């Protein structure tokens, strides 16, 4: 490698690369390939400095084992590579077997390589990494070779700084956008809360009057009077509006939950039993796979509200018949050291379109002609108040996308909550 144009070729190639991408991993992968080719060496590797670990981490290589990338950590000052980084100067060794400073790292498979040229990557006065070239045969790296690798190192250092600066700018931009989105969402939720409070208060009294008048009228209507069916219809609609008002009120002013040890399986069984008649009429088959559960700390009424909402939604989605599978179990969250109660409601209804899936927990978002869009958002709030989570996904067990799966996870014993009576 004696051609004087080698340095210019390397600079041009790496310069072209930097104009094409700001992806750090892509830049490093291309640089080691370009450098190995121009310098006619068997290995080229780049290590970057991780300040938190005070170590150099292998980030790109050609010639060493590729599965070592990201897993090799060299302490600052350790071996020839670490020494070059710590001293901030070029280190060249013709035969590493004769150098006590050298330390083999078996994971890299570098035992067969004899010579090494190690050049620190610097930005201003800061060492940010090291670029190495190695050969199988002992080799004395000439002055122009050291100068070439030093020039490449200088160019790579600037490219890395630019790439990292660009990544920071993108990260800051994303964080700003997320903050703005959270602020807008917070203001929107506050406005919706005020509106919901007003509506719930304004509607409660008229609805109570309508319900009372309808019930009185029903008592005074003969069984054979055809007007009785209209009175019953009025009562049904009043009840429906009452549930909407309750959802509005909970959305605006969620009450303090009263935690106690409850039998979640019993609550699920009770809700299913209450809807047995409608399930038969709608040709819906219910299959229960409830595992034995320990008692969980929860608000019984609110947990029941969530189960009712999910089961009614599933039944609405299977107006022409179908199957509802309800299961429960316990999983272990090892990182947090907690046992989690899990509940799944799997239906074979008409499902949820992909463009709708991302909005299902948003308040007042609904695809139902008679819905208000508060049911699932209230359910989500209740489950999160139990330090749990709720998710909805497509039911793919039958090989198609029919139906959905609602999954609820609640800690069995939650130390963050105080048992109240």
pLDDT attached to residue 343: 96
Give the CATH H-level superfamily of domain 6-171: GAF domain (3.30.450.40)
Q: How many CB atoms lie within 10 A of CB 153?
A: 22
CA distances from 127 to 56, 76, 181, 409 (A): 10, 11, 39, 48
pLDDT attached to residue 15: 65
CA-based nearest residue to 121, from 130, 112, 113: 130
CA-based nearest residue to 309, from 235, 236, 411, 392: 392
pLDDT attached to residue 252: 59
pLDDT attached to residue 43: 94
CATH topology of domain 182-252: Helix Hairpins (1.10.287)
**Per-residue pLDDT tens digits for 269-282:** 988 988 888 888 89
Phi and psi of 126, rounded to 5°? -105, 130
DSSP letters along 63-95, please? Answer: SS-GGGTTT-EEETT-HHHHHHHHHTS-EEES-
pLDDT attached to residue 375: 72
- Quick one: tokens of 196? 């919901």
Tell the burial category of 290 from Cβ atoms under 10 Å away from its Cβ (0-12, 13-18, 19+): middle
CA-based nearest residue to 38, from 145, 115, 158, 136: 145
Residue entry with tokens 């080719």: 37
Q: How many CB atoms lie within 10 A of CB 28?
A: 23
pLDDT attached to residue 218: 80
Residues of the chain with pLDDT under 50: 1-2, 398-401, 415, 417-421
pLDDT attached to residue 56: 92
pLDDT attached to residue 120: 92
Residues forming beta bridges with residue 134, ordered by sequence position = 43, 116
CATH topology of domain 260-411: Heat Shock Protein 90 (3.30.565)
- Quick one: tokens of 242? 């009452």
Please, which residues have CB within 8 angstroms of residue 219's CB and are 6 or more apart in sequence? none
- Quick one: tokens of 50? 């991780």
- Domain boundaries of the chain, sorted by first residue: 6-171, 182-252, 260-411
- Supply the pTM of this predicted model: 0.46
Strands (E), 103-247: 115-123, 126-135
Judge contact between 136 and 112, C-beta under 8 A. Answer: yes
Strands 338-347 and 322-333: antiparallel
């Amino acid at each position: 490698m004696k051609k004087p144009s080698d340095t210019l070729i390397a600079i041009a190639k790496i310069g072209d690369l930097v104009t094409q991408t700001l992806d750090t991993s892509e830049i490093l992968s291309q640089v080691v390939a370009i450098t190995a080719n121009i310098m006619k060496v068997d290995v080229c590797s780049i290590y970057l400095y991780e300040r938190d670990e005070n170590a150099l981490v292998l980030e790109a290589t050609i010639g060493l084992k590729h599965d070592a990338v990201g897993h090799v950590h060299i302490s600052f000052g350790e071996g020839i590579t670490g020494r070059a980084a710590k001293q901030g100067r070029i280190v060249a060794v013709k035969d590493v077997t004769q150098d006590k400073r050298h330390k083999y790292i078996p994971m890299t498979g570098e035992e067969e390589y004899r010579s090494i040229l190690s050049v620190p990557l610097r930005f201003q006065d800061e060492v940010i990494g090291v670029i190495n070239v190695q050969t199988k045969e002992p080799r004395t790296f000439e002055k122009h070779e050291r100068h070439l690798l030093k020039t490449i190192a200088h160019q790579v250092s600037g490219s890395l700084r630019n790439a990292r600066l660009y990544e920071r700018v993108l990260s800051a931009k994303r964080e700003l956008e997320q903050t703005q989105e959270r602020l807008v969402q917070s203001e929107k939720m506050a406005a919706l809360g005020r509106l919901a409070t007003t509506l719930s208060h304004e509607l409660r009294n008229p609805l109570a009057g309508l319900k009372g008048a309808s019930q009185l009228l029903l008592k005074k209507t003969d069984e054979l009077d055809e007007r009785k069916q209209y009175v019953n219809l009025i009562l049904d609609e009043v009840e429906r509006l009452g549930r909407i008002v309750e959802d509005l009120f909970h959305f605006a002013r969620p009450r303090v939950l009263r935690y106690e040890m409850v039998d979640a399986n019993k609550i699920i069984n009770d809700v299913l039993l209450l809807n047995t008649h409608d399930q038969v009429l709608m040709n819906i088959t219910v299959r229960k796979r409830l595992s034995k559960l320990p008692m969980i700390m929860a608000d019984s009424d609110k947990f029941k509200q969530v189960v009712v909402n999910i089961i009614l939604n599933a039944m609405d989605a299977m107006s022409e018949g179908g199957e509802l599978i309800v299961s429960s179990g316990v999983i272990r969250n090892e990182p947090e050291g907690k046992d989690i109660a899990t509940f799944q409601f799997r239906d074979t209804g008409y499902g949820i379109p992909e463009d709708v899936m991302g909005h299902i927990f948003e308040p007042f978002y609904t695809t139902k002609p008679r819905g208000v869009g508060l049911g699932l958002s209230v359910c989500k709030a209740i489950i999160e108040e139990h330090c749990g989570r709720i998710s909805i996904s497509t039911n793919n067990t039958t090989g198609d996308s029919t139906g959905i799966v609602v999954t609820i996870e609640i800690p069995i014993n939650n130390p963050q909550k105080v048992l109240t009576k």
